[in-house]
């Protein structure tokens, strides 16, 4: 199994591996080019589609945007990701349809070893992040490795999400906790 395959399968992998770094370098170059564009620039769509394969035509990532790979990001239809998002996508990051992601939101899939001796080595694991459909994450939200946020949730600006949030919840704080259930008419 390659180091890249280990990374995507939540195993300990070497993040200094040349094949892994080749993917990072490609994403870094595209992100740098995107930072000089707007969503209305003629080159924007082709670059964002190269960076995030399969992004629907109805979805937008506002530059500047930063990610490790791009190919680990899955975005549903009619989703809007505002300025300065950071997606460390060693693990798969899935964002559902009809989501609103505020400016400077951060999604971290890497998890470094707990043991300090192991942490001295260039190894980590990456845990996936999943955001359901129809979610709204306010500006500056941080989503930690392995977290799932259910459908129709609101995460208040500045929150740090360290645990799963059930569907139809409003969560806030550091760490984010469910403040109330959101009732929706059928």
pLDDT in tens, 18-72: 999 999 999 999 999 999 999 999 999 999 999 999 999 999 999 999 999 999 9
Residue 109 has, within 13 A of its CA and on its CB side, a CA count of 28
Q: What is the 3-state secondary structure (H, E, C) of 80-140?
A: EECCCEEEECCCCEEECCCCEECCCCEEECEECCCCHHHHCCCEEEECCEEECCCCEECCC
Q: Which pLDDT score is estimated for 64? A: 97
| pLDDT(81) > 60 | yes
| pLDDT(185) > 80 | no
CA R_g for the chain: 17
- Name the pairing type of β-strands 136-137 and 110-111: unpaired
Domains and CATH numbers, the chain: 3-181 (2.160.10.10)
Q: How far is 144 from 3, CA to CA, in rounded Å?
A: 22
Q: What are the angstrom distances between the C-alpha of 66 and each of 74, 102, 114, 124, 176?
A: 15, 14, 26, 20, 24
Specify burial of residue 16 (Cβ count, 10 A radius: 0-12, 13-18, 19+).
exposed
* pTM of this structure: 0.96
| pLDDT(186) > 60 | no
The residues annotated as belonging to the active site are 112
Residue owning tokens 């760490």: 175
Average pLDDT, the chain: 97
Per DSSP, what are the bridge partners of residue 34?
none
Are 125 and 11 within 8 A, CB to CB? Answer: yes
Q: Which pLDDT score is estimated for 63? A: 97
């Amino acid at each position: 199994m390659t180091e890249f395959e280990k990374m995507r399968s939540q195993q300990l992998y070497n993040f200094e591996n040349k094949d892994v770094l080749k993917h990072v370098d490609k994403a870094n170059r595209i992100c740098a080019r995107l930072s000089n564009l707007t969503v209305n620039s003629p080159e924007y769509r082709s670059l964002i589609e190269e960076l995030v394969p399969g992004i629907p035509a109805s979805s937008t990532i506002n530059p500047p945007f930063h990610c490790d790979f791009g190919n680990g990001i899955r975005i549903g239809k009619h989703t809007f990701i505002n300025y300065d998002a950071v997606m460390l996508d060693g693990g798969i990051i899935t964002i559902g349809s009809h989501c609103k992601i505020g400016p400077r939101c951060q999604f971290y899939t890497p998890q470094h070893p707990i043991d300090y001796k192991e942490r001295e080595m260039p190894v980590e694991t990456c845990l996936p992040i999943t955001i359901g459909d129809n979610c709204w994450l306010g500006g500056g939200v941080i989503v930690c490795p392995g977290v799932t946020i259910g459908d129709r949730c609101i995460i208040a600006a500045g929150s740090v999400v360290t645990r799963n949030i059930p569907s139809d919840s409003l969560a806030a704080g550091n760490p984010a906790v469910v403040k109330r259930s959101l009732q929706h008419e059928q």
